[in-house]
Amino acid sequence: MAAKPRVKVPKSAAAGDVITIKSLISHKMESGVRKDSDGNTIPRDIINNFTAAFDGEVFFSVDIDPAVSANPYLEFPARVDKAGTFTFTWTDDAGVVITHEQDIALKS
């Protein structure tokens, strides 16, 4: 699959805060309806799924269709109750999974 994902997660939050997470990954998201110069359909090749987990438990996911733009951008919330580790995954049509982790601390 593609390049390294970039994810923006606050370094810390107060218990009970709802934070905003922003994620971006480079991928051309070939929709499967385009044709090449010979008139052949260029096969579909997209990231079709994204998940966000906290300490191993998925709390948010997206089923992604070809209408999502290239270099898919996703912004979504998460309620932080304790310090821990976020794990994000992107899966493409070939079944390749890219994973990215980020820790968050609790504000004292």
Partner 1 sequence: MHSSPHPGRRRLLGTAAAAAVVAFFGTSGRGFAAVEDVEKAIGEFGGGAEAVDGMITLTTPEIAENGNSVPVAFTVESPMTEDSYVESVMILASDNPSPEVATFHFTPQSGEAKASTRMRLAKTQDVVAVAKMSDGTLHRTSANVKVTIGGCGG
Which residues of the chain form contacts with partner 1 (CB under 8 A)? 18-19, 31, 33-35, 41, 54, 57-70, 72-79
Least distance between partner 1 and beta carbon 81 (Å): 8
Least distance between partner 1 and beta carbon 58 (Å): 8
Q: Toward partner 1, which CB reaches closer, 33 or 94?
A: 33
Q: Residue 81 belongs to what H/E stretch?
A: none
Neighbours of 23 (CB within 10 A): 20
- Write down the residue that tokens 């968050």 correspond to: 104
CA–chain centroid gap for 28, Å, is 14
Q: Toward partner 1, which CB reaches closer, 37 or 108?
A: 37
Least distance between partner 1 and beta carbon 16 (Å): 9
Residues in CB range of 97: below 8 A, 6 or more apart = 89, 90, 91
Q: Toward partner 1, which CB reaches closer, 75 or 101?
A: 75
